[in-house]
Protein backbone atom coordinates (compact mmCIF):
# COMPACT_ATOMS: atom_id res chain seq x y z
CA UNK A 1 0.00 0.00 0.00
CA UNK A 2 1.39 3.38 -1.05
CA UNK A 3 -1.21 5.72 0.40
CA UNK A 4 -1.51 7.08 3.93
CA UNK A 5 -3.74 5.86 6.77
CA UNK A 6 -4.32 8.04 9.82
CA UNK A 7 -6.68 7.80 12.78
CA UNK A 8 -9.41 10.35 13.47
CA UNK A 9 -12.18 10.83 15.99
CA UNK A 10 -15.25 12.58 14.61
CA UNK A 11 -18.21 13.15 16.92
CA UNK A 12 -17.01 10.29 19.16
CA UNK A 13 -16.74 7.87 16.24
CA UNK A 14 -13.28 6.36 15.84
CA UNK A 15 -12.32 6.48 12.18
CA UNK A 16 -9.46 5.41 9.94
CA UNK A 17 -8.76 7.80 7.07
CA UNK A 18 -7.05 6.67 3.87
CA UNK A 19 -5.52 9.20 1.47
CA UNK A 20 -4.39 7.96 -1.98
CA UNK A 21 -0.70 8.01 -3.03
CA UNK A 22 -0.92 11.22 -5.08
CA UNK A 23 -3.07 13.15 -2.58
CA UNK A 24 -0.27 15.52 -1.51
CA UNK A 25 1.24 15.78 -4.99
CA UNK A 26 -1.50 17.73 -6.76
CA UNK A 27 -4.47 20.04 -6.26
CA UNK A 28 -7.07 17.51 -7.38
CA UNK A 29 -10.19 16.71 -5.40
CA UNK A 30 -11.21 13.10 -4.78
CA UNK A 31 -14.35 11.01 -4.37
CA UNK A 32 -14.94 9.84 -0.80
CA UNK A 33 -15.87 6.29 0.19
CA UNK A 34 -17.50 6.07 3.62
CA UNK A 35 -17.35 2.58 5.15
CA UNK A 36 -20.02 1.82 7.73
CA UNK A 37 -18.89 -0.26 10.67
CA UNK A 38 -15.19 -0.59 10.03
CA UNK A 39 -13.24 -3.16 8.05
CA UNK A 40 -9.71 -4.27 7.18
CA UNK A 41 -9.07 -1.28 4.95
CA UNK A 42 -5.31 -1.78 4.55
CA UNK A 43 -5.80 -5.16 2.89
CA UNK A 44 -8.67 -3.81 0.78
CA UNK A 45 -6.74 -0.75 -0.36
CA UNK A 46 -3.58 -2.75 -1.12
CA UNK A 47 -5.57 -4.76 -3.67
CA UNK A 48 -7.33 -1.74 -5.18
CA UNK A 49 -4.43 0.75 -5.48
CA UNK A 50 -2.95 -0.99 -8.57
CA UNK A 51 -6.26 -0.27 -10.35
CA UNK A 52 -6.15 3.48 -9.65
CA UNK A 53 -6.44 5.60 -12.81
CA UNK A 54 -6.45 2.46 -14.96
CA UNK A 55 -9.93 1.04 -14.48
CA UNK A 56 -10.82 2.58 -11.11
CA UNK A 57 -10.92 6.16 -9.85
CA UNK A 58 -8.60 6.86 -6.92
CA UNK A 59 -10.45 7.92 -3.80
CA UNK A 60 -10.32 8.98 -0.18
CA UNK A 61 -11.75 6.41 2.23
CA UNK A 62 -13.12 6.97 5.71
CA UNK A 63 -13.61 3.83 7.78
CA UNK A 64 -16.17 4.56 10.53
CA UNK A 65 -16.22 2.22 13.51
CA UNK A 66 -19.38 1.57 15.51
CA UNK A 67 -19.54 0.68 19.18
CA UNK A 68 -23.03 -0.79 18.80
CA UNK A 69 -24.03 -2.26 15.45
CA UNK A 70 -27.53 -3.21 16.62
CA UNK A 71 -28.12 0.44 17.48
CA UNK A 72 -26.40 2.29 14.63
CA UNK A 73 -27.36 0.05 11.75
CA UNK A 74 -30.91 -1.15 12.45
CA UNK A 75 -33.51 0.98 10.61
CA UNK A 76 -36.34 0.38 13.09
CA UNK A 77 -36.80 -1.73 16.24
CA UNK A 78 -36.90 -5.50 15.83
CA UNK A 79 -36.66 -8.49 18.20
CA UNK A 80 -33.36 -10.21 18.94
CA UNK A 81 -32.34 -13.03 16.63
CA UNK A 82 -32.06 -15.49 19.49
CA UNK A 83 -31.62 -16.10 23.18
CA UNK A 84 -28.89 -14.12 24.94
CA UNK A 85 -28.75 -11.72 22.00
CA UNK A 86 -29.62 -8.04 22.00
CA UNK A 87 -32.70 -6.68 20.28
CA UNK A 88 -32.34 -4.17 17.46
CA UNK A 89 -33.05 -0.65 18.72
CA UNK A 90 -33.65 0.95 15.33
CA UNK A 91 -31.35 3.99 15.45
CA UNK A 92 -29.93 3.92 11.92
CA UNK A 93 -31.61 7.23 11.06
CA UNK A 94 -29.81 8.85 14.00
CA UNK A 95 -26.45 7.45 12.88
CA UNK A 96 -27.03 8.46 9.25
CA UNK A 97 -27.93 11.98 10.36
CA UNK A 98 -24.56 12.20 12.13
CA UNK A 99 -22.89 10.97 8.95
CA UNK A 100 -24.77 13.49 6.80
CA UNK A 101 -24.71 16.52 9.12
CA UNK A 102 -21.37 16.14 10.93
CA UNK A 103 -18.97 13.58 9.45
CA UNK A 104 -19.40 14.42 5.75
CA UNK A 105 -19.20 18.23 6.32
CA UNK A 106 -16.04 17.65 8.39
CA UNK A 107 -14.48 15.72 5.52
CA UNK A 108 -15.52 18.28 2.90
CA UNK A 109 -14.09 21.12 5.01
CA UNK A 110 -10.76 19.55 5.92
CA UNK A 111 -9.87 17.40 2.92
CA UNK A 112 -9.79 17.72 -0.86
CA UNK A 113 -13.10 16.05 -1.57
CA UNK A 114 -15.57 16.00 -4.41
CA UNK A 115 -18.68 16.74 -2.38
CA UNK A 116 -21.41 15.97 -4.94
CA UNK A 117 -23.57 12.85 -4.82
CA UNK A 118 -21.84 11.13 -7.74
CA UNK A 119 -18.62 11.18 -5.74
CA UNK A 120 -20.07 10.33 -2.33
CA UNK A 121 -20.01 6.57 -1.79
CA UNK A 122 -21.36 4.58 1.15
CA UNK A 123 -20.58 0.90 1.64
CA UNK A 124 -21.10 -1.62 4.42
CA UNK A 125 -21.24 -5.31 5.26
CA UNK A 126 -23.99 -7.33 6.95
CA UNK A 127 -26.15 -5.10 9.18
CA UNK A 128 -23.95 -2.15 8.15
CA UNK A 129 -24.85 -3.02 4.56
CA UNK A 130 -28.53 -2.85 5.47
CA UNK A 131 -28.01 0.64 6.93
CA UNK A 132 -26.13 1.63 3.79
CA UNK A 133 -29.04 0.61 1.58
CA UNK A 134 -31.48 2.23 4.00
CA UNK A 135 -29.63 5.53 3.43
CA UNK A 136 -30.59 5.35 -0.25
CA UNK A 137 -34.20 5.95 0.78
CA UNK A 138 -33.36 8.75 3.22
CA UNK A 139 -30.71 10.91 1.55
CA UNK A 140 -30.02 12.10 -1.97
CA UNK A 141 -26.32 12.76 -1.34
CA UNK A 142 -25.16 9.14 -1.33
CA UNK A 143 -24.92 8.53 -5.06
CA UNK A 144 -23.17 5.16 -4.94
CA UNK A 145 -24.19 2.43 -2.52
CA UNK A 146 -22.53 -0.87 -1.66
CA UNK A 147 -24.58 -3.39 0.33
CA UNK A 148 -22.37 -6.44 0.86
CA UNK A 149 -24.02 -9.54 2.29
CA UNK A 150 -26.60 -7.11 3.61
CA UNK A 151 -29.02 -8.16 6.35
CA UNK A 152 -31.96 -7.85 3.98
CA UNK A 153 -33.78 -10.54 5.96
CA UNK A 154 -34.59 -7.71 8.39
CA UNK A 155 -38.23 -7.59 9.48
CA UNK A 156 -40.45 -5.54 7.11
CA UNK A 157 -37.56 -4.60 4.81
CA UNK A 158 -39.34 -5.47 1.57
CA UNK A 159 -42.48 -3.65 2.72
CA UNK A 160 -40.37 -0.57 3.43
CA UNK A 161 -38.67 -0.35 0.04
CA UNK A 162 -41.90 -1.19 -1.78
CA UNK A 163 -43.67 1.77 -0.18
CA UNK A 164 -40.75 4.23 -0.53
CA UNK A 165 -38.63 5.55 -3.38
CA UNK A 166 -34.98 6.65 -3.49
CA UNK A 167 -34.76 10.48 -3.70
CA UNK A 168 -31.77 10.01 -6.02
CA UNK A 169 -33.03 7.75 -8.78
CA UNK A 170 -29.70 8.09 -10.61
CA UNK A 171 -27.80 6.35 -7.80
CA UNK A 172 -25.72 3.24 -8.47
CA UNK A 173 -26.24 0.26 -6.17
CA UNK A 174 -24.05 -2.81 -5.75
CA UNK A 175 -25.58 -5.80 -3.95
CA UNK A 176 -23.77 -9.03 -3.13
CA UNK A 177 -24.51 -12.20 -1.22
CA UNK A 178 -22.83 -15.53 -0.53
CA UNK A 179 -24.61 -18.46 -2.16
CA UNK A 180 -24.78 -20.33 1.17
CA UNK A 181 -26.19 -17.46 3.23
CA UNK A 182 -29.83 -18.35 2.62
CA UNK A 183 -29.22 -21.80 4.13
CA UNK A 184 -29.21 -20.32 7.62
CA UNK A 185 -30.84 -22.39 10.36
CA UNK A 186 -32.36 -19.20 11.72
CA UNK A 187 -35.82 -18.92 10.18
CA UNK A 188 -35.75 -15.13 10.02
CA UNK A 189 -32.32 -15.01 8.42
CA UNK A 190 -33.04 -17.78 5.90
CA UNK A 191 -35.13 -15.42 3.74
CA UNK A 192 -32.05 -13.28 2.98
CA UNK A 193 -31.66 -14.80 -0.50
CA UNK A 194 -35.26 -14.20 -1.53
CA UNK A 195 -35.23 -10.70 -0.05
CA UNK A 196 -31.98 -9.82 -1.81
CA UNK A 197 -33.42 -10.95 -5.15
CA UNK A 198 -36.60 -8.98 -4.48
CA UNK A 199 -34.56 -5.92 -3.52
CA UNK A 200 -32.64 -6.15 -6.79
CA UNK A 201 -35.89 -6.41 -8.77
CA UNK A 202 -37.46 -3.46 -6.95
CA UNK A 203 -34.36 -1.28 -7.37
CA UNK A 204 -34.23 -2.18 -11.07
CA UNK A 205 -37.62 -0.49 -11.39
CA UNK A 206 -37.01 2.40 -9.00
CA UNK A 207 -33.67 3.55 -10.38
CA UNK A 208 -33.21 5.32 -13.71
CA UNK A 209 -31.70 2.28 -15.41
CA UNK A 210 -31.33 -1.42 -14.65
CA UNK A 211 -27.63 -0.90 -15.35
CA UNK A 212 -27.48 1.20 -12.16
CA UNK A 213 -27.90 -1.87 -9.96
CA UNK A 214 -25.91 -5.10 -9.84
CA UNK A 215 -26.45 -8.25 -7.78
CA UNK A 216 -23.31 -10.37 -7.55
CA UNK A 217 -23.27 -13.82 -5.99
CA UNK A 218 -20.18 -15.06 -4.16
CA UNK A 219 -19.16 -18.52 -3.04
CA UNK A 220 -19.55 -19.40 0.61
CA UNK A 221 -21.42 -18.14 3.63
CA UNK A 222 -21.72 -14.87 5.46
CA UNK A 223 -18.15 -14.78 6.75
CA UNK A 224 -16.40 -16.04 3.60
CA UNK A 225 -13.79 -13.77 1.94
CA UNK A 226 -15.22 -10.55 3.34
CA UNK A 227 -12.25 -8.51 2.13
CA UNK A 228 -12.66 -9.84 -1.42
CA UNK A 229 -16.31 -8.87 -1.39
CA UNK A 230 -15.36 -5.31 -0.44
CA UNK A 231 -12.79 -5.21 -3.24
CA UNK A 232 -15.27 -6.41 -5.87
CA UNK A 233 -17.91 -3.94 -4.72
CA UNK A 234 -15.56 -0.96 -4.71
CA UNK A 235 -14.09 -1.80 -8.12
CA UNK A 236 -17.59 -1.86 -9.62
CA UNK A 237 -18.74 1.33 -7.91
CA UNK A 238 -15.54 3.25 -8.72
CA UNK A 239 -15.06 1.92 -12.25
CA UNK A 240 -13.79 4.51 -14.74
Measure the CA–CA gap between 20 and 61, rounded to whole angstroms: 9
Q: pLDDT of 8-42, one tens digit each?
A: 999 999 999 999 999 999 999 999 999 999 778 99
Residue 206 — very low, low, confident or very high, per pLDDT cuts 50/70/90? very high
Beta bridge partners of 177: 217
User: CA 59, 143, 60: angle at the middle one, nearest 5?
Assistant: 15
Measure the CA–CA gap between 40 and 6, rounded to whole angstroms: 14
Average pLDDT, the chain: 97
Q: How far is CA 88 from the centre of its chain?
A: 19
**Residue 67 CB-density burial (10 A; 0-12 exposed, 13-18 middle, 19+ buried):** exposed
Question: CB-based contacts of 132: which residues, under 8 Å, 6+ apart?
Answer: 36, 122, 123, 124, 142, 145, 146, 147, 150
Measure the CA–CA gap between 17 and 4, rounded to whole angstroms: 8
Q: pLDDT of 65-123, one tens digit each?
A: 998 999 999 999 999 998 899 999 999 999 999 999 999 999 999 999 999 999 999 99
Domain 4-237 belongs to what architecture?
3-Layer(aba) Sandwich (3.40)
Please state the rounded mean pLDDT for residues 121-148: 98
| Domain ranges, ordered by start, for the chain | 4-237
| pLDDT greater than 90 at residue 223 | no
Nearest of 233, 239, 150 to residue 189 by alpha carbon: 150
Question: CB-based contacts of 185: which residues, under 8 Å, 6+ apart?
Answer: none
Amino acid sequence: MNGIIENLNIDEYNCSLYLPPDYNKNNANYPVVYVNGGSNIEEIISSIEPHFNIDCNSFILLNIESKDWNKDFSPWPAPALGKNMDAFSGNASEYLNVLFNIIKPFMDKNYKTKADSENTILIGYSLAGLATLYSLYKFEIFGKIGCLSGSLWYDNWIEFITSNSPPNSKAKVYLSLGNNEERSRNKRMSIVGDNTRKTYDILSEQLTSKENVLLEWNNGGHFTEITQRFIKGLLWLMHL
